[in-house]
Structure 1
Amino acid sequence: MTTAAGPGELDPKNHIASIIKATTVLEAFKGDRTELSLAELMKKCGYSRTTMYRILSTLEVAGWVERTRSADYRLTLRVFELGSAVLGSFDLRTEASHVMSELAARFDEHVYLLVPDGARAVCLDLIESSQPIRVMVLTVGRSLPLYLGGAPIALLAELEETALPQVLGAGPMLTPSGEEITEAQLRSRLTEIRKRGYSISVGDVTPGVAALGACIHDRKGHAVAALSVGGLSADMSDTRQTEMAQALMDGARTVSRRLGFVG
Structure 2
Amino acid sequence: MAVPVESEAPGGRDVVGAVLKACMLLGQFSADRPVWTLNDLTTASGMNKTTVFRLMATLVQAGWVNRTDEGAYRVAMPVFEIGSAALAKLDIRSAAKPFMSDLATTFGNTAYLMVPAEQGAVCIDLLEGRNSLVVAGINVGSVMPYHAAAGPIVMLAHSKELRDRWIKPGLPAITEQTITDVNLLVEHLDEIEDAGYSLSVSDYLPGVAAVAAPILGSDGAVLASISVGGRAEEFEGAALAAKIEKVCAAGARITRIVRAMPRA
Normalised by the length of structure 2, the TM-score is 0.61
Q: Mark the CA change 1:188 to 1:102 in structure 2 (over 3 Å): closer, same or farther.
A: same
**CA positional deviation for 1:177:** 4.7
Give 1:40-55 correspondences, 5 Å limit: none
**CA positional deviation for 1:174:** 1.8
Residue type at the aligned position of 1:260:
R
Indicate the residue corresponding to 1:260 in structure 2.
259
Unaligned runs of 5+ in 1: 1-88
User: SS where residue 259 of structure 2 aligns?
Assistant: coil
Indicate the residue corresponding to 1:154 in structure 2.
154
Distance 2:167 2:258 in 1: 31
Distance 1:220 1:156 in 2: 16
Which runs of 4 or more aligned residues in structure 1 lie more than 6 Å from their structure 2 counterparts after TM superposition?
Answer: none
String of CA shifts for 1:182-212, please: whole Å, max 9, x gaps: 1001101001101211001000011111001
Distance 1:231 1:118 in 2: 27
Q: Mark the CA change 1:173 to 1:167 in structure 2 (over 3 Å): closer, same or farther.
A: farther
String of CA shifts for 1:8-52, please: whole Å, max 9, x gaps: xxxxxxxxxxxxxxxxxxxxxxxxxxxxxxxxxxxxxxxxxxxxx
Does residue 228 in structure 1 map to residue 227 in structure 2? yes
Distance 2:133 2:179 in 1: 29
Distance 2:105 2:243 in 1: 12
Indicate the residue corresponding to 2:105 in structure 1.
105
Give 1:183-202 correspondences, 5 Å limit: 183-202=182-201
**CA positional deviation for 1:219:** 2.7
Distance 2:90 2:173 in 1: 32
Equivalenced residue count is: 173
User: SS where residue 260 of structure 1 aligns?
Assistant: helix
String of CA shifts for 1:144-171, please: whole Å, max 9, x gaps: 1000100100000001x21123213595
Distance 1:120 1:132 in 2: 24
**CA positional deviation for 1:128:** 1.3
Distance 2:97 2:203 in 1: 26
User: SS where residue 259 of structure 1 aligns?
Assistant: helix
Quick one: percent identity of the two aligned structures? 29
**Contact 1:217 1:261 (C-alpha < 8 Å) held by counterparts:** no
Task: Determine which structure has more spread, i.e. the larger CA radius of gyration.
Answer: 2
Q: Mark the CA change 1:174 to 1:218 in structure 2 (over 3 Å): closer, same or farther.
A: same
**Contact 1:113 1:126 (C-alpha < 8 Å) held by counterparts:** yes
**CA positional deviation for 1:178:** 9.2
Residue type at the aligned position of 1:153:
I
Unaligned runs of 5+ in 2: 1-88
Give 1:105-254 correspondences, 5 Å limit: 105-131=105-131, 133-159=133-159, 161-168=160-167, 171-177=170-176, 181-254=180-253
Distance 2:107 2:152 in 1: 21
Distance 1:198 1:179 in 2: 17
Q: Mark the CA change 1:179 to 1:244 in structure 2 (over 3 Å): closer, same or farther.
A: closer
Normalised by the length of structure 1, the TM-score is 0.61
User: SS where residue 210 of structure 1 aligns?
Assistant: strand
Distance 1:167 1:145 in 2: 9
Distance 1:129 1:245 in 2: 17
Q: Mark the CA change 1:102 to 1:179 in structure 2 (over 3 Å): closer, same or farther.
A: closer
User: SS where residue 220 of structure 2 aligns?
Assistant: coil
User: SS where residue 167 of structure 2 aligns?
Assistant: helix
Q: CA RMSD in A?
A: 2.3
